[in-house]
Amino acid sequence: MRDNLLKSFPLVLFMRVKLSDSQKKFIILIVAIVVSKLVLLAGADFEIEKFCMRWDGEHFIKIADEGYYDIHELAFGPLFPATIRLLSLLGIETWLAAFIIVNLLSVVPPLIVFRRWGLKPALFLALNPAYVLFTTAPYSEAMALSLALLAYDLREKRPELSGIFLGLAVLAKYTMGLLIFAFLLDGKRIRFLIPFSAFGLVLLLFFNSVGGSPWVYFDIEKQWDAKMRGPVAQIKWMMDSWFTNQPWRIRDFHLRGIHWVVHSWAFLLTYTAGLLILLKEKRVKEFLFSAPFVILQYLVTGVPSISTPRLLLPAVPAWTVLGEKMNRVIFSIIALILLISTYYVGLWHMQAFFG
């Protein structure tokens, strides 16, 4: 009897601990992050190494191992593979080092959103199937978003540090440079721009040193048919292109052009709805944080149009404001739908290109 009491003591003690409302919400958020990742990995049959070596994840891991072995690898920012390389020096396999880094960092963006906008917006971000995938698989999104949101959070009180963080975010993922519009309205923008510009110069020197030109990134993007031609041309490209005409399958389901259109535009229209809410409520800085990414996805053709779910992730306020506006019942239903969708996103990632 005494032994049973001793064994149950930690549980009884935990149950009696009085948690504050903020602590309870924090635990709920962490549980949601972990559960969403487990659901995703269930879709991948928990084959974690194989999951990590799919699509761009393989490129980041190979760059960490071998450096920029081909000029086309410059499409991937240097900061994430450099960090993987550093951790792997401890004797950890490179793919595992990448998996550890990205999953630790994946907690940061929802926590910043939680502190700034509340629990529902944070949960809505954490349950976004694209967010779950690209911050569980070894992609640069978790690092870039963490740095960018930290920069946004610090822009008023610590503009110099904000400039450093956004500069690092650009080194992790180049398109983070589009966030600069959200920072230019602040009175201390010069103090922000000096360190940020220094990182921009470092990036151009890096491109010139490794790729032979400071503008090599734009040449690489042309290889993927990336052009600014508008939504009609984008849909035509997705309906009938060398990429979408490949024999993509998810189990026995054959992905055709129309499926790629629905896949991309479902995300694009959802983010657009959030963007319009921000505009209506005159949340100017949050609108400017999101708008460049949403507008760009209406214009671009080629493989970047297929990658819409991933490329829209930096538009955090446009996504999270939707969760903010939902009542509890609607939010619960949508959260369940997102969680179920996450399983199929894991399956899609393993069997075809998701984004």
- The answer, yes or no, to whether residue 2 has pLDDT greater than 80, is no
Q: Give the Cα separation of 20 and 31 in Å (integer).
A: 17
Q: What is the pLDDT of residue 6?
A: 45
Number of other residues whose CB lies within 10 A of the CB of residue 158: 17
Identify the residue whose tokens are 């990995």. Answer: 41
Strand partners, 250: 253
* Contact yes or no for 71/78 (Cβ under 8 A): no
- The answer, yes or no, to whether residue 13 has pLDDT greater than 90, is no
For the segment 191-205, the average pLDDT, to the nearest whole number, is 97
Q: What is the DSSP string of 100-130?
A: HHHHHHTTHHHHHHHHHH-HHHHHHHHT-HH
Instruction: Write out the two tokens for 95.
Output: 């793919």
Q: Considering the chain, what percentage of its residues have pLDDT values greater than 90?
A: 91
- The answer, yes or no, to whether residue 5 has pLDDT greater than 50, is no
Instruction: Write out the two tokens for 299.
Output: 């214009």
CA angle 20/103/292 to nearest 5° reads 90
Instruction: Write out the two tokens for 20.
Output: 């504050």
The pLDDT tens digits for 120-166 are: 999 999 999 999 999 999 999 999 999 999 999 999 999 999 999 99
Find all residues with CB under 8 Å of 351, minimum gap 6, and list them.
249, 250, 251
Find all residues with CB under 8 Å of 106, minimum gap 6, and list them.
33, 37, 135, 136, 142
- The answer, yes or no, to whether residue 12 has pLDDT greater than 60, is no
**Exposure string over 271-308, b if 16+ CB within 10 A, otherwise e:** bbebbebbeeeeeebbbbbbbbbbebbeebbbbbbbbb
- The answer, yes or no, to whether residue 204 has pLDDT greater than 60, is yes
For the segment 244-273, the average pLDDT, to the nearest whole number, is 96
Instruction: Write out the two tokens for 14.
Output: 């935990």
The pLDDT tens digits for 215-227 are: 999 999 888 889 9
- Give backbone dihedrals phi and psi of 74, rounded to 5 degrees, phi first: -70, -10
Instruction: List the one residue out of 150, 147, 149, 157 whose CA is nearest residue 186.
Output: 157
- The half-sphere exposure of 134 on its side-chain side, counting CA atoms within 13 A, is 26
- Give backbone dihedrals phi and psi of 300, rounded to 5 degrees, phi first: -80, 145
Residues in the chain: 355
* Contact yes or no for 205/213 (Cβ under 8 A): no
Q: Give the Cα separation of 275 and 279 in Å (integer).
A: 6
The pLDDT tens digits for 14-64 are: 456 789 999 999 999 999 999 999 999 999 999 999 999 999 999 999 999
Find all residues with CB under 8 Å of 283, minimum gap 6, and list them.
317, 321
The pLDDT tens digits for 276-328 are: 999 999 999 999 999 999 999 999 999 999 999 999 999 999 999 999 999 99
- The answer, yes or no, to whether residue 9 has pLDDT greater than 60, is no
Instruction: List the one residue out of 152, 157, 168 whose CA is nearest residue 288.
Output: 152
Q: What is the pLDDT of residue 15?
A: 52
